[in-house]
Amino acid sequence: MLFWIIISALALGVAALLGLTLIRGRVGDAPPAAYDLQVYRDQLREVERDLGRGVIDEGNAERIRAEVSRRVLAADAQLKSGGETGGQPRGAGRAMAFILALLVGGGSVALYAYTGQPGFGDHPQARRIAASEMARAKRLSQTEAEALAPAQIQAPEVSEDFLTLMERLRKTVKARPNDLQGLTLLARNEAALGNITAAYEAQQQLIRVKGVQATADDYAFLTDLMVSAASGYVSTDAETALRAALARNSGQPTARYYLGLYLMQIDRPDAAFRIWDKLLREGPADAPWTQLIRGQIEELAWRAGVRYTLPPVDDLTGPSADQLEAAQDMSQEDRDEMIRGMVARLSDRLASEGGSAAEWARLIGAYGVLGETEKARAVWQEAQQVFSERPEDLAQIRANAEQAGVAGVAE
């Protein structure tokens, strides 16, 4: 109601100012004819100055004097006959003032009633957070979410030999439920076949067998399977899994992506935006979550009340693991040329612009593949300084440094 009062008062105030000007017939303290008269008198004085400077001759000066004098007489006559209104018709002015009041005042209210939300009440932050907490408390379990999810799209047909091997694998795991290798293969192959529920059940068993040795990646993969089985819904069970992943590694990117998705679903766009924005900027550009975030983060920023510009896609992220593996099929000369070119571009960009921990780790790994240990060692030493206050990022880089054989360098 308060908003309606404010916009109505503003609209009527603007209409009143315009209407008053129309009724008075002038703007300011003098009628229009008085301003015209002042201008014409200034023009007469200007003619005398131009004549004195020799800009015009006496003949032209006389002709200009006559024309301006005629206008002075006309303006003076209008001023005397029109009085304070300057000859403006009062009736027409009042009519126009009334029409403007209807158009500006009534039109503004009608426009808001059509395009706005007249019945939308105040929604303070405390109430929004309380509604979010209520939505959190009412989240569905994994079983409930799957029951409401649409039917899963099955994976493409596979060979009979593969299906036969899968049957053997299932029987083997059933007979040996503590076989870590079998459970790992079962979870990933069931997911490849589109049997997502069976896949996450195998992953749950894998985590139970590992116990305290279960890693953040194990829980993140479980989260991914659960959310996929529920068609994108983050259930209470999936939330438990992603938080277990983050408890073991707060920088685990898959879990962070799903935490942002979860926060979106419980109407906390502010917190979700902060997580996704940081994750997107860390990269790399070819990460599986990057395109998912890019497709939603602009709307998320709008919902969070943030002015946001989507960062451009960086094509110079350096060689990925897949690219390095593909390079093994090339000749030695072609392989070295490809990798060195990509590594050089990545190295130049990190030196001039900086980059994410994943990109620093990739650069060290690439130098290790090329056998350029000294360069890998130099990058690792620099990374320890750049990420000295970010131990989680540094741990990610250290993994590649260990593979390159340079992680033993003291900080």
pLDDT at 29: 60
Whole-model pTM? 0.53
Structurally, how many domains does the chain consist of? 3
Do 105 and 140 lie in one domain? The reply is: no
Do 111 and 157 lie in one domain? The reply is: no
Give me the DSSP letters along 191-235. HHTT-HHHHHHHHHHHHHHHGGG--HHHHHHHHHHHHHHTTT---
One-letter amino acid for residue 131 of the chain: A
Do 233 and 158 lie in one domain? The reply is: yes
The fraction of the chain above a pLDDT of 70, given in percent, is 77
Mean pLDDT of the region 353-380: 81
Give domain status of residue 283, yes or no.
no
Q: Which of 366 and 217 is assigned the larger pLDDT?
A: 217
Alpha-carbon gap, residue 404 to 363, rounded angstroms: 10
Give domain status of residue 285, yes or no.
no
Do 62 and 148 lie in one domain? The reply is: no
Alpha-carbon gap, residue 173 to 204, rounded angstroms: 13
Least confident of 145-154, 229-238, 307-316: 307-316
Give domain status of residue 258, yes or no.
yes
Do 88 and 175 lie in one domain? The reply is: no
Give domain status of residue 307, yes or no.
no
Give domain status of residue 12, yes or no.
yes
pLDDT at position 295 over 70: yes
Q: Which of 332 and 173 is assigned the larger pLDDT?
A: 173
- Residues 54-112 have pLDDT tens digits of 878 888 888 888 888 888 787 777 666 655 555 555 666 667 777 777 777 677 767 77
CB atoms within 10 A of CB 73: 12
Give domain status of residue 22, yes or no.
yes
- Residues 222-248 have pLDDT tens digits of 999 999 899 899 999 999 999 999 999
pLDDT at position 297 over 70: yes
CA distances from 111 to 7, 11, 102, 106, 119 (A): 11, 12, 12, 9, 14
Q: In the chain, what are the helix, strand and coil shares in percent, each to the nearest 5?
A: 75, 0, 25
pLDDT at 220: 94
Domain final residue, candidates 223, 250, 267: 267
Do 100 and 194 lie in one domain? The reply is: no
- Average pLDDT of the chain to the nearest whole number: 79
Give domain status of residue 301, yes or no.
no
pLDDT at 1: 55
- CATH number for the domain spanning 143: value is 1.25.40.10
Domain final residue, candidates 115, 144, 162: 115
Do 202 and 238 lie in one domain? The reply is: yes
Do 174 and 74 lie in one domain? The reply is: no
Do 161 and 253 lie in one domain? The reply is: yes
Do 209 and 142 lie in one domain? The reply is: yes
Do 106 and 146 lie in one domain? The reply is: no
Give domain status of residue 375, yes or no.
yes
pLDDT at position 190 over 70: yes
- Residue numbers of the domain that contains 102: 2-115
Alpha-carbon gap, residue 318 to 345, rounded angstroms: 7
Do 37 and 139 lie in one domain? The reply is: no
